């Protein structure tokens, strides 16, 4: 199959329960980098544990937003540049809330982790590489905000 087919097939199962899979993604992200936790503040309140964050309604909305962006990328695989302006702006918003551009690599690892948990051995090297390419295209566009 082509990369695009591999991505669409592997996204189908995830997109049936985005919140569940998004929780796996973000639980992994906080395991890999607990310093990301304080970036999420709603009404100026910091979470004291990842568990507290992962159960707050505002944060669950962020999870839904992230999954929707990935869903949009999967929908527009053939024509990713139509998301360019949106993703550039999204990058700017993340820079403004204090996200370091390097953290997107940790997010990428967490996305792969979530996909692997979902698919097991079916998530083979070909599928992994297809996702790695897509994710790096998305991040490259979001990252333009950090460039001087």
Minimum separation from the CB atom of position 29 to ligand HEM (A): 7
Q: Which residues pair with 42 in a beta bridge?
A: 45
Which residues have a Cβ under 8 Å from the Cβ of 28 and sit 6 or more positions away? 109, 110, 113, 114
Residue 121 beta carbon to ligand HEM: minimum distance, rounded to whole angstroms: 26
Question: Nearer to ligand HEM by C-beta: 21 or 94?
Answer: 94
Q: What whole-number distance in Å separates Cα of residue 126 and Cα of residue 32? A: 24
Residue 28 beta carbon to ligand HEM: minimum distance, rounded to whole angstroms: 12
Q: Which is nearer to ligand HEM, 12 or 93 (CB)?
A: 93
In angstroms, the CA 108 to CA 70 distance is: 11
User: How far is 48 from 46, CA to CA, in rounded Å?
Assistant: 6
Residues of this chain that bind ligand HEM (CB under 6 A): 36, 39-40, 58, 62, 65-66, 69, 90, 93-94, 97, 99, 103, 107
Beta carbon of residue 94, minimum distance to ligand HEM (angstroms, whole number): 5
């Amino acid at each position: 199959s082509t990369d695009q087919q591999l991505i669409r097939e592997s996204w189908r199962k995830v997109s049936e329960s985005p919140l569940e899979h998004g929780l796996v993604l973000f639980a992994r992200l906080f395991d890999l980098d607990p310093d990301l936790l304080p970036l999420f503040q709603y009404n100026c309140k910091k979470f004291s544990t990842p568990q507290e964050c992962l159960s707050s309604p505002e944060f669950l909305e962020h999870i839904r937003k992230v999954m929707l962006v990935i869903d949009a990328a999967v929908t527009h695989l053939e024509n990713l540049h139509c998301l360019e302006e949106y993703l550039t702006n999204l990058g700017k918003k993340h820079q403004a809330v204090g996200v370091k551009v390097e953290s997107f690599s940790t997010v990428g690892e967490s996305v792969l982790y979530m996909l692997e948990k979902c698919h097991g051995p079916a998530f083979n090297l070909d599928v992994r590489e297809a996702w790695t390419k897509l994710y790096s295209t998305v991040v490259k566009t979001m990252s333009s905000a950090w460039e001087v």
